[in-house]
Structure 1
């Protein structure tokens, strides 16, 4: 059973940064300076843990001028295919929908191609053409928060 919760302490923040380091910097060769940005402090971060309490995934979201941006979804290779990504997407959407300021606004993300079908299951739609970000192909995906 995968559990997902909002990160509210430095210890958990270190765990999610470690996951992002492994997935984005080591596996996908994203430059470290591209991975960590000025939005870390204003984003709502999430940690996913397996049934043994091991941190295995992370995501974040933040308010922008365009709506709410979901980003930095990462699952450790050892835990992929076990529902961690689905649990993270659901937890992030649920958290956003609980915020009064989010009603009627757009939820959007830059989705890596292998993850597009996951986000489509939650109602996100591809918008525009494929584009490259950090040497990885993406689609912008959007959905309205109702």
Structure 2
């Protein structure tokens, strides 16, 4: 698996296709909530397996903290370590900014995954697009 910063228009379209498949189709998040006003201010990542785009995520800096967002893997690739590969690549990118802390809003079912990467829950549960989440942070 290879993770790349999405730089070309084709790569950006791959990112949006994956996000729409996972969030809009699978999880029923309204498209207008999934594609938002922060797209142009974010660095987008695309994960490839056998030259096929299978994962995506985005990163931006908010108040001096790196914010990891929209992390998703196509259903056919889940359970193969793809999410971990994607997160590690985003974290390496963040370290070069330089930043000392990352945060993300995790869907509650994914909390154990992020805990395995060293993130800690820092908030009560809240709804985002009708889905339960908790904020998590990690010092890098």
The verdict on a shared fold, with TM-score over 0.5 as the criterion, is yes
Q: Distance in 1 between matches of 2:83 and 2:134?
A: 17
Unmatched runs of 5 consecutive residues or more in structure 1: none
Alignment partner of 1:54 out of 36, 49, 52? 52
- Shift of residue 114, structure 1, vs aligned partner: 2.0
Cα RMSD of the aligned pairs, angstroms, is 1.0
Q: Distance in 2 between matches of 1:5 and 1:90?
A: 12
Unmatched runs of 5 consecutive residues or more in structure 2: none
Counterpart in the other structure of 1:13: 12
Q: Distance in 1 between matches of 2:31 and 2:64?
A: 26
- Shift of residue 17, structure 1, vs aligned partner: 0.3
- Shift of residue 44, structure 1, vs aligned partner: 0.8
Counterpart in the other structure of 1:95: 93
Matched, 1:73 2:71: yes
Counterpart in the other structure of 1:38: 37
- Shift of residue 66, structure 1, vs aligned partner: 5.3
Q: Distance in 1 between matches of 2:79 and 2:95?
A: 26
Counterpart in the other structure of 2:115: 120
TM-score (norm 1): 0.92
